[in-house]
Chain A
């Protein structure tokens, strides 16, 4: 019996070891390639002959074909900041209205939101494109970035579910006590509910901040051909195109690693705030 148990345990550990190698290997590959001194695309070996930081430093110089990583980074950053503020404002407003205020159009709104969520998101992309073009937003690169902010945050009000779920856990007794003291609903929202909802507010902010960094498709349609106004995701994709692949192969991985670090940190933060907010607003 004991030997059998030992065998099973060893087998389990061997399987885990093999699996974790499979899971870690692509990451190691990306990491090692980003430090590779030899240029060009794939090699027959994984561990570079020569280690170098050049791939990282070169990212911040304008390279062949006008690929400008630093520029893409700041574009994405600006878009992310504005769209996260606007989205968070929309989401918190709608979520609070849905959770705490009672009015005739509340249930209908929730049903409409549910139905709208079922259409493929970019089915309306073409129409959005023409609307923005009609308003003259796509004439220059800078305004097309502004248009991208609107695209990311315009419909954000529909994504209120998680936040509403959180507001539902804030005890209504607190509101009622405040009403007895003569507070208006606005005061209850800003002075009681919001301060108790920091985890979900931060969660909302970070998730909307992260969206522009990982979105490919909307940015691709809105931003068109001008490489100076690309966001990170389309920029990195461009590096893999045939004409750039040989030159930018190692830099592509450097760019990926560089962008993964902040996103990973933000992701871990959202997880923390998500678990915090799932445990409810008021503990005990």
Chain B
């Protein structure tokens, strides 16, 4: 009884902190009940519109869960139990296919339901906060905000909600739901032998990761590690060959004695004008077995038989790197030119006084300086090369095929292997495992690059 007279301690409204927790801790009963009956606090405190919106959301969710959602959460656990079947229909006199469960759709709906449930809890927190803020307003002797005021705030202090809603919905539907779905697939046996709707697939735990990384008779380690090795070799070779050669070209053009700098630059930049996928397709036809390059060499008499540039693992790999150099160098030349001109002239001056040769000057001054300045750029390029789908797919398509490998060719990168396994061979679980492992690889390098960059370290200081 006495407790009713005690003034309950309640801290001032803290909009930046954990307001939902405050609402549970210090809110009155109406506020707390708002977690169960969405918008109750708003209704009793004269914010009818908020109540209607929140209530509609709660009712919508409850109706969905009763109608479909609850079942789909159960299905997410089992991934389907009844197999598609053929039953003899006496009246028709034929076998009729009865639809079984579709594991793939079960998984998809399960993911969507999970996401809606997270959304439900988010709005539970919103309801609590609305009630709490209104409670505080009344305690302070103010009138809770009207709906008109709310609407106006969507263009002012709550502008971020207006601006972010649609982009975030897009990201949810087209990035997050698919990604969660694919990550979950890595833990199932959704492969070519378990195709829906004729068959079911089920949870298998970490089995796919084990088989991907093991060298046993059923393990894919004998494909995975060589492909990973080539991916890394390719990424390193492509990044550094482009970088060093592009820089040398920029130096060659910018050196004092070179005349017609603009003309030379133009000659190289011309190739940028062709979109990369067209250059790649052109290069593939030029170096094809009966392509112009072989015909030219034959007509000159250097070779008698056409060289299969894309046919043997070694030449194909070298050709890929060479073609990539052709495509990439002009870009590197453009980006490095400006930075090269910023290297302090005194450094070169003193090197010349000491009698250093051009090669030594390049190795001891230019290269270290450039690498220092452009490390983040190098790491980003490296990471994007790990995922360089176009160059490999449009040049060789991963060929030449190899019998030692599991549906991969000698020039396949992890990403192109992923593409083949999912799109062509329907081993979705393996493709998904590769995707996750690639992600780990990229995350390590990207974080390295990101932490290095000044824009991360002092974001606020940069803004004036």
Chain A contact residues, CB within 8 Å of chain B: 5, 8-9, 12-13, 15-16, 19-20, 22-24, 26-27, 29-30, 41-44, 46, 89-91, 93-94, 96-97, 99, 101, 103-104, 106, 109, 114-128, 130-131, 134, 150-151, 153-158, 165, 168-169, 171-173, 184-187, 189, 213-214, 216-217, 221, 233, 236-237, 240, 249, 252-253, 256, 259-260, 263-264, 267
Q: How far is the CB of A77 from chain B (nearest CB, A)?
A: 15
* Cα distance, A205 to B435, chains bound together (Å): 30
* Cα distance, A23 to B272, chains bound together (Å): 10
Closest to B104 in A: A130
Provide the residues of chain A in CB contact with B284, threshold 8 Å: 240
Asked if A217 and B270 make an inter-chain contact with CB atoms under 8 angstroms apart, the answer reads: no
Q: 10 A-B pairs, CB-CB below 8 angstroms?
A: A12-B255, A29-B292, A119-B439, A123-B435, A131-B108, A153-B170, A154-B171, A155-B174, A216-B390, A252-B281
What's the dominant secondary structure at chain A's contact region? helix
Select which of B168, B270, B292, B443 is within 8 A of A118 by beta carbon: B443
Decide: A214 near B275, CB < 8 A? Known: A101-B160, A118-B439, A184-B156: yes
Nearest 8 interchain pairs by C-beta: A154-B174, A157-B167, A124-B178, A127-B178, A123-B435, A264-B273, A186-B155, A20-B267
Asked if A151 and B443 make an inter-chain contact with CB atoms under 8 angstroms apart, the answer reads: no
Asked if A214 and B282 make an inter-chain contact with CB atoms under 8 angstroms apart, the answer reads: no
B:123-182 near A, CB below 8 Å: 152, 155-157, 159-160, 162-164, 166-168, 170-171, 173-179, 181-182
Provide the residues of chain B in CB contact with A22, threshold 8 Å: 326
* Cα distance, A101 to B157, chains bound together (Å): 9
Query: How many residues of chain B are within 8 Å of chain A by beta carbon?
Result: 87
Provide the residues of chain B in CB contact with A90, threshold 8 Å: 166-167, 170
Select which of B159, B167, B252, B268 is within 8 A of A189 by beta carbon: B159
Q: How far is the CB of B317 from chain A (nearest CB, A)?
A: 20
Asked if B268 and A26 make an inter-chain contact with CB atoms under 8 angstroms apart, the answer reads: no
Asked if A124 and B175 make an inter-chain contact with CB atoms under 8 angstroms apart, the answer reads: yes
Provide the residues of chain A in CB contact with B108, threshold 8 Å: 127, 130-131, 134
B43-68 interface code vs A (CB 8 A; 1 in, 0 out)? 00000000000000000000000000
Select which of A157, A165, A217, A221 is within 8 A of B171 by beta carbon: A157
Provide the residues of chain B in CB contact with A185, threshold 8 Å: 155-157, 159
Most chain A CB within 10 A, of B156, B178, B298, B299, is at B178
Decide: A27 near B178, CB < 8 A? Known: A44-B299, A217-B393: no
* Cα distance, A184 to B151, chains bound together (Å): 13
Closest to B459 in A: A168
Listed stretches B1-9, B368-376, B415-423; interface member: B415-423
